[in-house]
Structure 1
């Protein structure tokens, strides 16, 4: 049975989701240059990341179908200095078998609404290049290019660029 975005339930994450989230993330870690990590993340490590995010007051959402977790999106601190406290960095990852059907947009839209409603001002997304699917998703949601850093990562025997896209939440209309 094909999974469609309309069959998704968006909910807050639980540390019980750590194994499924790690499995999704590890696909990108081990098989792509989308994540700059190079070693698989364990269930325990992912549970720790989830807990730290939630304890810091940042949202982390999962998209779930009858088949399990289809993807997740979360926000973290953008930078350490106090003046940055109204800005966040976001990430979204989907099960590779469930991409291209609107699940990422639905999940990310829910996260952005939460961030806007919580009083956050700006969302920043770092996207390893090339990644036209992620760029397309971000730009469809109103993100605009803000910076491009050349050859700042090295993975899979190649130098990689990272672009940053920015969304002022007062302009987010979903």
Structure 2
């Protein structure tokens, strides 16, 4: 599966010489049964959101994944990240589950959706 992993898209977003974000796809699970399913992770630095960069990155990643015949794309989002939840809903993602109190940050537990 490592060879397959290396075919999946990865991007770094820069403004000048400053890294302001990244995005990449990775295998959902190592079993061949899930070979057509990936997870996406991306992040933009504060101050660079709501400028269309996340949408452009997502379009590029999704397009490349379609070319690779990936049929399912999953994302996990903190229940406290309302902007990300709204962003993904606008992109057409649906909510299929909630892992309660699975994350811990800033002395608080949060859910993963």
* Root-mean-square deviation over aligned CA pairs: 2.0
Structure 1 SS opposite 2:13? strand
- Whether 1:106 aligns to 2:106 is no
Cα 1:157–1:74, aligned 2, differ >3 Å: closer, same or farther?
same
1:156 aligned partner: 106
Cα separation, 1, equivalents of 2:108 and 2:88: 25
Q: Taking structure 1 as reference, are residues 113 and 99 closer, same or farther at Cα in structure 2, changes over 3 Å only?
A: same
**Higher CA-based Rg:** 1
Note the alpha carbon deviations across 1:54-113, whole angstroms, 9 max, x for none: 963211012333353332110011012210010000011012121121111111111111
Mapping of 1:23-62 within 5 angstroms?
56-62=6-12
* TM-score (normalised: structure 2): 0.87
- Of residues 54, 59, 70, the one that matches 2:20 is 70
Q: Provide the residue aligned with 1:128 in structure 2.
A: 78
Q: Which has the higher helix share?
A: 1
Q: Which runs of 5+ in 1 are unaligned?
A: 1-51, 164-174
Aligned residues: 112
